[in-house]
Amino acid sequence: MGTTPQATHVADVPAAMDRALALAALGPAHGPNPRVGCVLLAPQRHGDTHRTVIGEGWHRGAGTPHAEVAALADARARGNDPRGTTAVVTLEPCNHTGRTGPCAQALLDAGVAEVVHALDDPGAASGGGAAHLRDHGVPVQPGPRQAEALGLVRAWHHAVRTGRPYVTLKLATTLDGRVAALDGTSRWITGPDARAHAHAVRATVDAIAVTTGTALADDPALTARTPDGTRTEHQPLRVVVGHRDLPTTSRLHGPGGELLHLHTHDVHHVLDELHTRHVRHLLVEGGPALATAMLRAALVDQVHAYIAPMLLGTGPTAVNPLGITTLTAAPRWQTHHLQQLGPDALLVARTTDTSHTPDQES
* 3-class secondary structure, 303: strand
Do the beta carbons of residue 277 and residue 317 sit within 8 Å? Answer: no
Q: At 210, which helix (H) or strand (E)?
A: strand 207-211
Residue among 14, 16, 38 nearest 26 (CA): 38
CA distance 348 to 333: 10
CA distance 197 to 203: 10
CA-based angle 332:333:337, to the nearest 5? Answer: 155
Which residue in the list 56, 68, 92, 285 is annotated as catalytic?
A: 68
Catalytic-residue membership of 68: yes
Cis bond upstream, residue 188 (ω within 30): yes
CA distance 261 to 244: 10
Do the beta carbons of residue 112 and residue 82 sit within 8 Å? Answer: yes
Q: At 86, which helix (H) or strand (E)?
A: strand 86-91
Return the half-sphere exposure (C-beta side, CA atoms, 13 A cut-off) of residue 126.
20
Q: Work out the number of other CB atoms within 10 angstroms of the CB of residue 226.
A: 12
Cis bond upstream, residue 129 (ω within 30): no
Catalytic machinery residues: 68
